[in-house]
Amino acid sequence: MAEWTAKRFWKEASVVVADGGFTVLLDRRKLRTPVKAELIVPTREMAEAIAVEWDAQGEKIDPLTMPVTRSANAAIDKVTPMHAEVSELVAEYGGSDLLCYRAEAPVELVKRQAAAWDPLLKWAAETLSAPLKTGVGIVPVKQDANVLAGLHKRVAGMDSFQLAAFHDLVGMSGSLIIGFAATHKLLPVAELWGCSRIDEDWQIEKWGEDDEEIATSEGKKMGFEHAARFYFMAN
C-alpha cells in the first residue's frame, strides 16, 4: 500500500499575534503541532519563517523542507514538557566535552586540536566562568563539580525554543562549549562547525571520503547552521 502523504488544503499562510507570541494561519485555520497543541512561537521572525515554509509547499506537504516548523514543533511538543530533563541531558556534555580530549599523536593533529580548541576553552573560562580540564586519549577527565553546575544553570535558564536549538548545536558538535560559542557569536557558525570536525577532517585527509560520508557530513553541517539560526530567531 502506498504511504499516505498529506496534501495542501490552504491557499495562503499568514502571521497573526497570539496569546504569548505569534502564530501562523493556513487561510483561517490555526497551525498546530503534531500533538495538536497551538503552534505559538516567541517572535514574529520565527512565525514569518514558518509561514514562508508553508507557502512554499506544493500539492503534497514535505516536512523535510520545513526545518523551522520542525524545530518549533520540537520545542513545543518535546522540550516544553520535559525542560528539566532536556537541560540535564545537554548539560552533561560538559563532563565529556569534545574539546577536553586530545590526541597523543601525530604531532600535526595535536597542534591542530590545540590551535582550534585552546582559544575556545580559554573563552569559556573567562566568559562562562567555566575552566575545563583537558586530558590525553580516552581516559575520563574529571571536571570540577561547581564548574559543571554553573554550566548546567546556564542551560536550564534557556527557554524551550532556545533549548531546542541548543540541544542540536551541542549534540551535533559533541561540545557544550562550541554550543555556547555559537549562541554568543564568538566565531562564524561555519568556523565553529569546523572546530568540531578536526578529527574527522584529519582522517579524511589521510584516507579520503566516499560520497555517502560527504552527504552525511553536509547534512550535519546544515543541521548545525539551522540550529544556530533558530536559536537567534527565538530571541
The strand ranges marked E within 49-175 are 101-102, 135-136
DSSP 8-state code for residue 65: G
Instruction: Tell me the CATH class for 13-65.
Output: alpha beta
Query: Tens of pLDDT along 37-79?
Result: 999 999 999 999 999 999 999 999 999 999 999 999 999 999 9
pLDDT range class, residue 5, cuts 50, 70, 90: low
Q: CATH 1.10.3580.10: which residues of the chain?
A: 82-233
Distinct helix (H) and strand (E) counts, the chain? 10, 6
CATH of domain 82-233: 1.10.3580.10
Average pLDDT, the chain: 94
Query: Tens of pLDDT along 122-178?
Result: 999 999 999 999 999 888 999 999 999 999 999 999 999 999 999 999 999 999 999
> Residue 1 has what pLDDT?
30
Q: How many whole angstroms from its chain centre is CA 71?
A: 10
CA atoms within 13 A on the CB side of 127: 13
Q: Residue written as cell 525542560?
A: 83
Answer whether 41's CB lies under 8 Å from 22's CB. Answer: yes
> Residue 146 has what pLDDT?
98
Extract long-range pairs of 140-144: CB within 8 Å, 24+ residues apart: 140/96, 141/96, 141/100, 141/101, 143/94, 143/95, 143/100
Evaluate if residue 104 carries a pLDDT over 60: yes
> Quick one: 51 exposed, middle or buried, by C-beta within 10 A (0-12, 13-18, 19+)?
buried
Evaluate if residue 4 carries a pLDDT over 60: no
pLDDT range class, residue 210, cuts 50, 70, 90: confident
Percent of the chain with pLDDT over 70: 98
Which amino acid, one-letter code, is at 146? Answer: N
H/E run at residue 13: strand 13-18
pTM of the model: 0.94
Of 233, 89, 77, 85, which Cα lies nearest the Cα of 165?
A: 233
As a whole number, mean pLDDT of residues 197-220 equals 86
Of 201, 200, 198, 174, which Cα lies nearest the Cα of 113?
A: 198
First to last CA, the chain: 44
> Residue 3 has what pLDDT?
41
Name, in order, each residue with C-beta under 8 angstroms of 174's C-beta and a sequence gap of 6 or more: 93, 97, 98, 196
Collapsing DSSP to helix, strand or coil, 61 comes out as coil
